[in-house]
């Protein structure tokens, strides 16, 4: 278990306008680790996917609560948890398959695949009817200070 160095918790409604806020908040928090622009972009994209999944799939017909926890762990690692109390995922393995979606034709079904490719670790826990928790970790490469 890695020791926690710092954390922040944000709670917001499942409005699509809050996805951008979550991205910027995660980037601002991650800035403490001095990431490269590419690393920052990866974190923002992964957060975007996780929050969008909670909004679109967790609460398709209603507004609900989303909580995002950001933690700085030792070894220059950021952990991001996005939790909702919405519909939940019936079959996590199926949901993690590329191109699978329950969101209609306009959804690509690549959310979990994108999160997995941009982060070092991705875990998904879900209970049908009770919500989903997505936890992602990314180690930021240490840069030589000049």
Residue-wise pLDDT tens for the chain (146 aa)?
678 799 999 999 999 999 999 999 999 999 999 999 999 999 999 999 999 999 999 999 999 999 999 999 999 999 999 999 999 987 777 776 655 555 555 555 567 788 888 999 999 999 999 999 999 999 998 776 65
CATH of the domain at 19: 3.30.565.10
Q: Which of 5, 23, 96, 107 is catalytic?
A: 107
pLDDT computed for residue 144 by the predictor: 67
Is 144 among the domain residues? no
Residues recorded for the chain = 146
pLDDT computed for residue 102 by the predictor: 54
Is 13 among the domain residues? yes
Which pair of tokens denotes residue 16? Answer: 């699509």
The predicted-structure confidence for 62-101, as pLDDT tens digits, reads as follows 999 999 999 999 999 999 999 999 999 877 777 766 555 5
pLDDT computed for residue 4 by the predictor: 76
How far is Cα 10 from Cα 88, in angstroms, rounded to an integer? 20
Query: Does the annotation mark 130 as catalytic?
Result: no
Query: Does the annotation mark 75 as catalytic?
Result: no
Q: CA nearest 86: which of 109, 137, 52, 116?
A: 52
Is 87 among the domain residues? yes
119 with 59: CB under 8 angstroms? no
pLDDT computed for residue 125 by the predictor: 95
**Domain residue limits at 81:** 4-139
Is 80 among the domain residues? yes
Is 145 among the domain residues? no
Q: Which of 18, 19, 39, 49 is catalytic?
A: 49
Q: Which of 19, 39, 53, 79 is catalytic?
A: 53
53 with 99: CB under 8 angstroms? no
pLDDT computed for residue 129 by the predictor: 93
Instruction: Name 14's Cβ contacts closer than 8 Å, sequence gap at least 6.
Output: 54, 55, 58, 59, 63, 64, 65, 66, 84, 86
Query: Does the annotation mark 53 as catalytic?
Result: yes
Question: From the CB of residue 8, how many other CB atoms can be counted at a distance below 10 Å?
Answer: 13
Split into its structural domains, the chain has a count of 1
Give the C-alpha distances (Å, rounded to integers) separating 134 from 11, 64, 114, 142, 145.
15, 16, 13, 26, 33
Predicted TM-score (pTM) above 0.85: yes
How far is Cα 131 from Cα 112, in angstroms, rounded to an integer? 16
Is 146 among the domain residues? no
């Amino acid at each position: 278990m890695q020791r926690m160095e710092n954390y922040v918790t944000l709670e917001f409604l499942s409005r699509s306008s809050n996805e951008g806020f979550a991205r910027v908040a995660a980037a601002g928090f991650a800035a403490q680790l001095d990431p490269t622009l590419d690393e920052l972009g990866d974190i923002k994209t992964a957060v975007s996917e996780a929050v969008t999944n909670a909004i679109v799939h967790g609460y398709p017909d209603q507004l609900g609560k989303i909580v995002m926890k950001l933690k700085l762990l030792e070894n220059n690692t950021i952990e991001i948890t996005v939790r909702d109390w919405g519909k939940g995922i019936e079959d996590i393995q199926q949901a993690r398959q590329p191109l699978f979606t329950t969101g209609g034709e306009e959804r690509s079904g690549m959310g979990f695949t994108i999160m997995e490719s941009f982060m070092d670790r991705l875990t998904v826990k879900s209970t049908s009817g009770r919500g989903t928790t997505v936890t992602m970790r990314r180690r930021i490469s240490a840069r030589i200070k000049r």
